Amino acid sequence: MRIFITGGTGFIGSYVVQELYNHNHEITILARNPNKVPNLKALKGVLIIKGDLSEKKIIYENLIDKDICIHVALGWGNEAMTMMTNDTVPSIYIFETSAKLGIKKMIYTSSTAAIGRYDINIDSSTKCLPKDFYGATKASSENYLHAISYQYPMLCNIIRPGYTFGNPVVKGANMESDTRFRNIIESVKNNEDITLIKFDGTQFIWAGDLAKIYLKLLESNFNRKYYFGLGYKYISWEAIAKEAIIQAKSSSKINLIDKNYNSIPKLFDVSPLKKDFGLEFDSWEKIREHIKFLLDKS
């Protein structure tokens, strides 16, 4: 299939591109810097075009004759209006233009931040109550895409990734931007104590597993489906730090701050991944591999 993808040179996007490439799809990537990841650019059947989310003409011209659009890129803004201008409005343009051009399928990369709350167990029917502008743009874009799905025959589906981690998928590509893994590695290598919040953690997902969800959705005929891109196990930062200490043979100690986090965490429901696609992700072994990679790299 002919696929247009925004953000394909970023961390999550590069994993998605690699997965699509492995299954012989023809891929066009919109990227601010086409030379950011030369090893992606060198893949046969992958075309990287220069452009950003504000360049409607470039987006329009490169959506023509495509079968599928995957929207991964984020246009950042520190204030509400700039976030709306830089991300929400361009996302709506991509959705509506794709639909008008006859794109068959749209996959939107949202976030668990669209939900905002973490005080209850969460499934796809949980109301979005975002706590920041990032979550607000994701929730808003979800709603616009949902509305567009009733106006056009384009199949529209949404993936909400949580904490996604992984080594660079090809040489020169990115890792996760969050620095907590690297901060722990730096501490254990220097035999420094590590301060963490008691019971703090999440349902981590390896980027390679997240990319599999995109492929499965691409191959399906589902419409208006929402999937949390997460592992099924809740893993604490304390467990990650302990593993890093073991691997590094470090003398670091872990200090836990009690902020009254519940020892029984609230979970995102990932059962639809298993029900619809047979996918269920236990991220622990990939976390161990990521720790080893970071230790060897530093």
Sign, Cα dihedral of 34, 58, 75, 78:
positive
Which residues, 6+ apart, have CB-to-CB distance to 200 below 8 Å? 236, 237, 238, 259, 261
- Global pTM value: 0.97
Q: How far apart are CA 151 and CA 98, in angstroms?
A: 12
3-class DSSP state for residue 45? coil
Sign, Cα dihedral of 20, 26, 31, 36:
positive
Q: What is the pLDDT of residue 222?
A: 98
Nearest Cα neighbor of 91 from 64, 77, 104, 72 is: 72
Q: How far apart are CA 103 and CA 92, in angstroms?
A: 14
In contact, 96 and 60? CB cutoff 8 Å = no
Q: What is the pLDDT of residue 203?
A: 98
Q: Kindly list the averaged pLDDT for each block of 10 residues, start to end, along the chain of length 298.
A: 97 97 97 93 94 97 98 97 98 98 98 91 93 98 98 98 97 95 98 97 98 97 98 98 98 97 94 98 98 93
Q: What is the pLDDT of residue 41?
A: 87
Q: How far apart are CA 259 and CA 281, in angstroms?
A: 29
Q: How far apart are CA 190 and CA 280, in angstroms?
A: 36
Q: All domains of the chain, ordered by start, with CATH?
A: 2-164+205-229 (3.40.50.720)
Q: What is the pLDDT of residue 45?
A: 93
Q: What is the pLDDT of residue 231?
A: 98
